[in-house]
Amino acid sequence: MSQAQYQVRGPVAVITLDNPPLNGLGHALRSGIVAAIDRAAADEAVQAVVLTGSERAFSAGADVREFGTSKAGMEPSLPNVIRIVESSAKPVIAAISGACLGGGLELTLGCHFRIARADASLGLPEVKLGLIPGAGGTQRLPRLVGLEPALNLMVSGNPVPARAFAGTLIDEIVEGDLLEAALAFAQKVLDEQRPIRRLSELKVKEPDGEAWLQFARNNIAALSKNFPAPLKCVDAVASTLTRSFDEGMRVEREIFYGLMNTPESRALRHVFAAERAAGKIPDVPEGTPTRTVKQVGVIGAGTMGGGIAMNFVNAGIPVVLLETRQEALDRGLATIRRNYENTVKKGKLKPGEMEARLARITPTLDYAALADADLIVEAVFEEIGVKEQVFRTLDEVAKPGAILASNTSTLDLNRIASFTKRPQDVIGLHFFSPANVMKLLEVVRGEKTSPDVLATAMQLAKKIRKVAVVSGVCDGFIGNRMIARYGKAADDLLMMGALPQQVDRALEKFGMAMGPFRMGDLAGLDIGWAIRKRRAAEHPGEDVSAVADHLCEAGRFGQKTGAGWYRYEAGKRDPIPDPLVQQLIEQAREAAGVKPRRISDEEIVERCIYALVNEGARILEEGIALRASDIDVVYLNGYGFPLHRGGPMQYADQVGLPNVVRSLRRIAAEPGANVAFWTPAPLLARLAEEGRGFNH
């Protein structure tokens, strides 16, 4: 059956796009539209055409299911479909409700008139995939609404309600039944014999257009540093001033295909697909039953517990917050209140809503208050003894079927589960600090975690607006296990001859939100110190970080103590390089008998990022991560990895795995190198040899 339904209502042919859920403009729908337009042209009873979609979407643009397949470019291509619609001798009216995005909006620009519901969502989101509109949008839209509104829509990529375009892009805003309104509008066009308006035939009338575009270029260049597409929107739009429509279409095509092949667009398209893939768990299919979570318990009202509680109450789920001592409880609640007050001050939350959210938190010192909780998240001290005590108690007080979650960063979740008689109900929910802000949630699947518990956690993550990634059990899970390698590579660079500020600068230039030493100072160096001490006790000789240990021994824990890898002036967060740190580093080099050498920024990036990639490959091979793209999602959402590079594994693919392997082998062969650390992971070496990538 055709995906474009054809129906005649009086003198009007109604073509209804019918490719649920969002009328993606795949090949079948494109062909269907052309066939229906031809049919209307040939039908003598038809004098006008209405093109419409569903309540939910006129069309949300290209069909994502077709991305990257041969069908995507198959004729009739979208630009040609739009040209055919536009050249119809009978007036074509687009009747729009719901999402009208990308190619969907471009299709309406091929129509001669547009009517829409006030809240229909109009947008050109192509820049979010590193592209520009590629079906005439850059040429037709400025001709209709002018340069500035057109560019705003393209460069922001954000949708705008149709009411904002009443009288310009949209000829009429519809209140009641959309189809009836469209039929009435068509009748009016016929009665008034309104001339057909083909946007490709219009001229942009802006005498100062060139000057304005130059101004726009300067602004956009400053805002879109790492992404070429926004500036390319200006180039494409500029041709509407100086060139014919057909020439402009050629310019648009050239730019579009040029961008398709940029690493930035590849990265953005990869991330788009990766975030969707992360929700899929092969042995927990969609439709796996989930448990109802109406009330949550949080244990520990410290740094993490408070933020975790906020996530749930923000989503309307009441929380019982448990502590051991009243002071700790009061402190935790005061912090939560302060956080909300700051949001209110910024105008992002109404005072009444703040109170409503706070009222959803029930503080307690008594485990009996957790009896009704459907999910209990533990965020107490990172000590196995404390976790044991908490989970043994939970096993006694939690109702049957309650999900028992731990926010542990490094401890063995299977061991934690074994403290209960219901290991199938135990799962890791690893939030990132600050837990009310950071998007990432590592969902840690224990050996015995049951599928419905996992499915519930993934569903709940969406509800509290987190990006969830499943991780198996290992020390540090996906993110922290990798970051330890990255940190080690950064520490080694200090011993070799670099200074913290140089390492940070090089990695920030690469695009990391924050270099490793600044990040350490922010997070607190005592955390890593405690972990190193524990690991040193478990595996003597491993994981030494001489300089970091000296800093901690001197009480320099980072920002919170006013000094760490840098020093900080009271009340300020700007890191100031500290000669004392340089001295410590020089002493450590001397003690180790190392002669410092000059280190280039490229070498810094290579070592730190490839250390991440190499550990990522091990994590993938061990099955800790389900797919390489999950690792990318973790790094983009939890560790400030630059979006335009698509995550560490995608970056490695872009560099080419054989090149990554060659570099790692070269480093491993350097005198004094930690060979086990730098030897390429077997999976990485194998993929490189087979000419494959992690993600492809």
* Residue closer to ligand NAD (CB basis): 34 or 328: 328
**Torsion angle, alpha carbons of 23, 27, 32, 35, to 10:** 150
Of 58 and 565, the one with the shorter C-beta distance to ligand NAD is 565
Nearer to ligand NAD, 117 or 466 (CB): 466
Smaller CB distance to ligand NAD: residue 232 or 481?
A: 481
Among 304, 506, 507, 608, binds ligand NAD (CB under 6 A): 304
Q: Please, how many CA atoms are within 13 Å of residue 440, restricted to the half-sphere of its CB?
A: 24
For the bound state, the minimum distance from the C-beta of residue 331 to ligand NAD, rounded and expressed in Å, comes to: 7
When asked if residue 433 is in the footprint of ligand NAD (CB under 6 A), the reply is yes
Among 580, 579, 560, which residue's Cα sits nearest to residue 570? 560
- Report the length, in residues, of the chain: 696
Which H or E element spans position 137? helix 137-145
The reply to whether 436 sits near ligand NAD by the rule CB under 6 A is no
For residue 170, the 8-state DSSP code is B
Q: Which of 125, 263, 305, 500 binds ligand NAD (CB under 6 A)?
A: 305
Return the exposure string of 666-695: e unless at least 16 CB atoms fall within 10 Å of the residue's CB, then b: ebeeeeeeeeebbbbbebbbebbeeeebbb
Helix ranges, 17-94 (H): 27-42, 78-86
User: Whole-number minimum distance, CB 561 to ligand NAD, in Å?
Assistant: 16
Nearer to ligand NAD, 113 or 432 (CB): 432
Question: What residues from 328 to 357 belong to the interface with ligand NAD (CB under 6 A)?
Answer: 328
Closest residue (Cβ) to ligand NAD? Answer: 302
**Residue 2 neighbours by CB under 8 Å, 6+ apart:** 18, 28, 32, 35, 36
From the CB of residue 426, how many other CB atoms can be counted at a distance below 10 Å?
28
Q: Is 453 a binder of ligand NAD (CB under 6 A)? A: no
Contact call for residues 608 and 507 (beta carbons, < 8 A): yes
**Contact region with ligand NAD (CB under 6 A), list: 246-254, 255-263, 425-433, 670-678:** 425-433
Among 29-37, 203-211, 303-311, 467-475, which window interacts with ligand NAD (CB under 6 A)?
303-311
**Which is closer to ligand NAD, CB of 228 or CB of 476?**
476
Residue 604 Cβ, how far from ligand NAD at the closest point, in Å?
Answer: 25
- Is 426 a binding residue for ligand NAD by CB under 6 A? The answer is no
**Active-site residue, selected from the candidate residues 106, 275, 603, 615:** 106
- Contact yes or no for 442/602 (Cβ under 8 A): no
* Shortest separation between residue 330's beta carbon and ligand NAD, angstroms: 11
Residue 615 annotated in active site: no
Q: Are 32 and 4 in contact (CB under 8 A)?
A: yes
386 contacts ligand NAD (rule: CB under 6 A): yes
Evaluate whether 333 touches 360 at the Cβ level (below 8 Å): no
DSSP 196-221: P--GGG-----TTHHHHHHHHHHHHH
User: What is the strand order of the sheet 296-299 is part of?
Assistant: 361-364, 319-322, 296-299, 375-378, 403-406, 426-431, 440-444, 467-471
User: Among 140-148, 405-413, 445-453, 583-591, which window interacts with ligand NAD (CB under 6 A)?
Assistant: 405-413
Q: Closest CB to ligand NAD among 31 and 324? A: 324
CB of 298 to ligand NAD, least distance (A): 10
User: Among this protein's residues, is 323 annotated catalytic?
Assistant: no
List, in order, residues 6 or more apart from 455 with CB less than 8 Å away.
Answer: 281, 284, 288, 289, 290
Catalytically active residues, by annotation? 106, 126
Write out the residues near ligand NAD by the rule CB under 6 A: 299-305, 322-324, 328, 379-382, 386, 389-390, 407-409, 431-433
